[in-house]
């Protein structure tokens, strides 16, 4: 199922262990304060923005990374200990997107 992939503006790279932090960032800042539409945001573990069941998650992540205009890296201790997150971070820097690292101390 293709979910407006060509119109994704924001990719949020994060550890799935930090869903509470990411949900607040999404709800309070991106949607609440900045007015982004949820369909313009990709976040692998947040309802309404995540990969649909049955999709090839590696391809979905790669496609969304390449199409995003802005990539937020929500860097926590959990992020730094995740091989997948570190791979996303490296891939983000290789795109033409604006990459914004955000360090969150828990």
The SS3 call for residue 11 is strand
Catalytic choice (55, 88, 96, 105): 88
Dihedral angle sign, alpha carbons of residues 24, 73, 56, 64:
positive
52 assigned to active site: no
Whether residue 62 contacts residue 92, with contact meaning beta carbons closer than 8 Å, is answered with no
Residue positions annotated with a catalytic role:
88
């Amino acid at each position: 199922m293709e979910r407006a992939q060509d119109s994704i503006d924001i990719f949020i790279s994060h550890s799935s262990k930090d869903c509470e932090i990411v949900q607040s960032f999404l709800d309070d800042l991106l949607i609440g304060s900045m007015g982004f539409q949820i369909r313009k945001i990709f976040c692998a573990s947040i309802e309404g923005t995540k990969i649909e069941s049955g999709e090839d998650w590696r391809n979905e992540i790669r496609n969304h990374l390449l199409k995003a205009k802005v990539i937020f890296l929500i860097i926590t201790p959990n992020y730094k200990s995740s091989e997948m997150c570190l791979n996303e971070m490296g891939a983000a820097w290789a795109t033409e997107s604006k990459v914004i690292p955000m360090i969150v101390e828990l």
